[in-house]
Amino acid sequence: MKKILNIIAVAVLLCVAVSCGRQEKAKYVFYFIGDGMSSTIVAAAEAYLAQERGVIGMDPLSFTVFPVMGEATSFSASNIITDSSAAGTALSTGEKTNNGMLCIAPDSTTLQTSIAYKIHDAGFSVGVSSTTTINHATPASFFGHNIKRGNYYEIGKEIPATGFEYFAGGGLYHPNGKDSTQTPNLFDMIADGGYTICNGYEDFKTKKDAERIMLIQSERSEEICPYALGRPEGALTLSQIVEAGISVLERNRKGFFLMTEGGLIDWTAHSNDLAGTIIETLDFSDAIAVAKAFYDRHPKETLIVVTADHETGGLGLGRRGYTFDLTVIDSVKKSDTTTDVEEYMNDRKSMDSLNRAARVGWTTGSHSGGPVPVWAIGVGSEKFAGRQDNTDIPKKICEAMGVAF
Ligand SMILES: [Zn+2]
More confident of the two residues 16 and 342: 342
Q: How many whole angstroms from 312 Cα to the centroid of ligand 1?
A: 8
pLDDT higher than threshold 70 for residue 385: yes
Residue 402 in this model has a pLDDT that exceeds 90: yes
Could you tell me whether strands 256-262 and 125-130 are parallel, antiparallel, or unpaired per DSSP bridges?
parallel
Domain residue limits, the chain: 27-401
**What's the CA angle centered on 201, arms 200 and 203, to 5 degrees?**
70
Q: N- to C-terminal Cα distance for the chain?
A: 50
Taking the centre of ligand 1 as the mean of its atom positions, its distance from the CA of residue 310, in whole angstroms, is: 6
Q: Compute the distance from residue 308 Cα to the ligand 1 centre, in Å.
A: 8
- By 3-state DSSP, what share of the chain in percent is helix, strand and coil, each rounded to 5? 40, 15, 45
How far, in Å, is the centroid of ligand 1 from the Cα of 309? 5
Asked if residue 16 has pLDDT above 80, the reply is no
Residue 5 reports pLDDT greater than 70: no
124 confidence band (pLDDT: 50, 70, 90):
very high
Residues 6+ apart with CB under 8 A from 327: 51
Distance 148 CA to ligand 1 centre (A): 15
Q: In whole angstroms, what is the distance from residue 217 CA to residue 203 CA?
A: 10
Lowest mean pLDDT among 41-50, 239-248, 269-278, 326-335: 326-335
pLDDT in tens, 130-156: 999 999 999 999 999 999 999 999 999
CA neighbor of 319 nearest in space, from 363, 353, 361: 361
Q: pLDDT for 17-27, tens place per residue?
A: 545 556 699 99
* C-alpha 228 to ligand 1 mean position (Å): 18
What is the third-level CATH fold of 27-401? Alkaline Phosphatase, subunit A (3.40.720)
> What pLDDT digit, counting tens, does each position of 294-316 carry?
999 999 999 999 999 999 999 99
Q: How far is the CA of 53 from the centre of ligand 1 (A)?
A: 31
Nearest CA-CA partner of 393 in 105, 94, 142: 94
- The yes-or-no verdict on residue 11 having pLDDT over 80 is no
Rounded Cα distance, 55 and 368, in Å: 30
What is the C-alpha to C-alpha distance for residues 74 and 325, in angstroms, rounded to an integer? Answer: 30
Å from CA of 211 to ligand 1 middle: 30
Give the integer Cα–Cα distance in Å for 312 and 314. Answer: 6
Q: Is 40 exposed, middle or buried (0-12, 13-18, 19+ CB in 10 A)?
A: middle
Relative orientation angle of helices 348-358 and 274-297, to the nearest 10 degrees: 70
